[in-house]
Amino acid sequence: MSIDLEQFHETFFEESFEGLDIMETGLLELEHGEVDLENINTIFRSAHSIKGGSGTFGFTAVAEFTHDMETLLDQMRNGERQVTVPVVETLLGSVDVLRSMLNAIRDGSEIDVNNVSQMTASIKGILGVEDAASGAPEVEKYAQAAKGWVVHFKPYVDILKTGNDTVRLLRELNSLADQTEVTVDNESLPPLTELEPEECYQSWSIKLIGAEVSEDEIREVFAWVDDECDLKIEAMAEDSSDSIAASPGEEQSEEELPEKRSVEKRAGKSTESSSIRVNISKVDELINMVGELVITQSMLSRFGESEEFNDSTIERLKDGLAQLEGHTRELQESVMRIRMMPISFAFQRFPRLVHDLSTSFDKKIELIMTGETTELDKTVLEKIGDPLVHLVRNSLDHGIESPAERIKAGKSETGVINLSAYHQGGNIVIQIKDDGAGLNKDKILTKAKEKGLVNSDERMTDDQVYDLIFRPGFSTADVVSDISGRGVGMDVVRRNIRELGGAVEVKSKPGEGSVFTIRLPLTLAILDGQLVGIGDETYILPVISIIESLQVKSENINAVAGNAEVYRLREEYIPIVRLYQIFDIKPVSTELDSGLLVVVEAEGKKIAIYVDDLLGQQQVVIKSLETNFRKIEGLSGATILGDGTVALIIDIAGLIDLYQKDMASNVVSIKGAAA
């Protein structure tokens, strides 16, 4: 029977990339001087699994490359090698090379051979130097091995069901030594009538006489069946083969545990894959909920069958319906939670990024991350990575000053970047905070005027000025470095975040630093909506952006320059947006005081939307307009109401843009008329 190995490729890649991430994290910790044996072990195991996997799938280039890394790690693990910065740097570099190799294989493209051979050479360089130094213990080990080994191999009964073949293992062992002696223990073999052909009852003692191999090489043979057998490997003493050594088998199983735990901890991580690994407890919860739902359903169906209907049955029916509602909501939340993943998956790349960038910028930077366990929707998580990278790079490049400047400003030499995530209302908030120089208001204004983004006589608040950096065609970097200023500006960051239904804003204080705040919806699937009526149409406003709804008092309406209307609300002037004008709908009334104003906020800007009526609030399932149609400016999607009709969901930030464009075109036409 031939098995199509290709079906496992994706899993292999997924696991290997996870392994690489684990290695990277571990190596970065090592670099910070925390030499911890468990940590090195973890790194080693990741490398080992990648090597094993790539060997199995025939990616020999990867296997060979990893083998050298593994050798180096093994020496570190055995304390034969000092953990030094150059060694860790080399390993970090090889993690990158390995990642690019795996990427190349996955995408079916060419592996960059130069890169690989360079890296192999530098690893071999380190190994070569050290080999000479540690030659002695190595020889001793082999000398000890020369007498041979006794391997006690006692597989568990289920070993065959896991697809492992004991015969293959024995054959492989046989190839390690010139002369082998095998003793089979048939004691636990049941009578033929009770024999289960798919189970394994025997155990073996194998003497490898004169085998010139190390213990690790023997263990290697059993690498795949580690947790499916008891394994004892003893060095052959002078003549007795029965010496009772400490059982390395137990040690082995103990060693296995942390790996399993770490695998579980990592469950669910995969950056671009379409599959998702879900914690079993979440699934159990779901099954419980479904159970409850079935019970409620059977209770309700009783009413359908009952002949008579009186007050008491109606009362119970209402109770049942209330229960049903509760369960539906809980079920919905449970299902949502399946898609939820901790934000650490997006954060984990930053230690490395900051490490690399601070070296290339000659800056000293400490990265502090908090709230890594905050969960958010997988889709949001995958798409927020790039904007976050951009913002962190930005803080590093433009925010934090050089050590010399920092000392001059009376700050500590090391800059701090704070990356934090937390929940607030129905949103998740991600903050990137630096203690650098802050945004330079004058520079931004000059630049904006240069680019014609603002008029030279325009009066702006600080926040409005800072907001200019998100405008298309704006970049404050004096010198275009390879990190920033590659044409991917802050406007792209804002656009990407908006596509996720979120918002980004910046606050800054000269000399103290800046804070970028990203607000994202927890999920892209469901939204708390406020239904509003405009003419015959029903639109939905996200409740999260609504500040308040109010009846218009005509004395609070002011007109600015004839066309733009503002509403005075507690000493604040808020522009009035007549939705029917922007969306070209026939309203019930155009008189402001016969309708209502809904004050909404997005990205720090407030507008008051004029609507005919408020119709009630409900949770709505967001459907994309793009599936069958395309994106419409000012709308974030559509939903289906209880009566089966479609209602459109308003994207507040987009609407503000539309309104501003509308106003701008009016201004242009007035100016044109004047000229």
Residues binding other proteins (CB under 8 A) = 537, 582-585, 623-625, 627-630, 632-635, 638, 640, 644-648
Where in 115-178 does DSSP place strands (E)? Answer: 148-155
Q: Which position among 31, 48, 228, 234 bears the catalytic label?
A: 48
The answer to whether 485 touches 477, Cβ cutoff 8 Å, is yes
For the stretch 112-150, what's the b/e string if a residue is b when 16 or more beta carbons lie within 10 angstroms of its beta carbon?
eeeebeebbebbeebeeebeeeeeeeeeeeeeebeebbb
Q: Between 466 and 583, name the residue whose CB sits nearer to other proteins.
A: 583
Q: Report the nearest approach of other proteins to the CB of residue 636 (Å).
A: 13
> Which helix or strand (DSSP H or E) is residue 22 part of?
helix 9-31
Q: Between 194 and 584, name the residue whose CB sits nearer to other proteins.
A: 584
Q: Which position among 29, 234, 355, 394 bears the catalytic label?
A: 394
Q: What's at 286, amino acid-wise? A: L
Q: Between 143 and 646, name the residue whose CB sits nearer to other proteins.
A: 646
The answer to whether 27 touches 91, Cβ cutoff 8 Å, is yes
Q: Which residues pair with 540 in a beta bridge?
A: 531, 649
Q: Is 140 a catalytic residue?
A: no
Q: Report the nearest approach of other proteins to the CB of residue 625 (Å).
A: 6
Q: Between 312 and 645, name the residue whose CB sits nearer to other proteins.
A: 645
Residues in contact with 576: Cβ distance below 8 Å, sequence separation at least 6, in sequence order: 557, 565, 566, 567, 592, 597, 607, 608, 610
The radius of gyration of the chain from alpha carbons, rounded to an integer in Å, stands at: 33
Q: Report the nearest approach of other proteins to the CB of residue 539 (Å).
A: 9
Q: Is 115 a catalytic residue?
A: no
Give the span between the Cα atoms of 491 and 380, in whole angstroms. Answer: 18
Q: Report the nearest approach of other proteins to the CB of residue 615 (Å).
A: 14
Q: Report the nearest approach of other proteins to the CB of residue 655 (Å).
A: 10
Q: Between 598 and 638, name the residue whose CB sits nearer to other proteins.
A: 638
Q: Between 264 and 633, name the residue whose CB sits nearer to other proteins.
A: 633
Q: Report the nearest approach of other proteins to the CB of residue 645 (Å).
A: 6
Of the candidates 526, 532, 505, which has an alpha carbon nearest to the alpha carbon of residue 516? 505
The answer to whether 102 touches 62, Cβ cutoff 8 Å, is yes
Of the candidates 673, 675, 623, which has an alpha carbon nearest to the alpha carbon of residue 647? 623
Q: Is 70 a catalytic residue?
A: yes
Q: Between 294 and 621, name the residue whose CB sits nearer to other proteins.
A: 621
Backbone angles phi and psi of 565, in degrees to 5: -100, 140
Q: Report the nearest approach of other proteins to the CB of residue 360 (Å).
A: 38
Q: Which position among 70, 228, 259, 375 bears the catalytic label?
A: 70
Residue 225: CB atoms within 10 A of its CB come to 18
- Give me the active site residues, please: 48, 70, 394
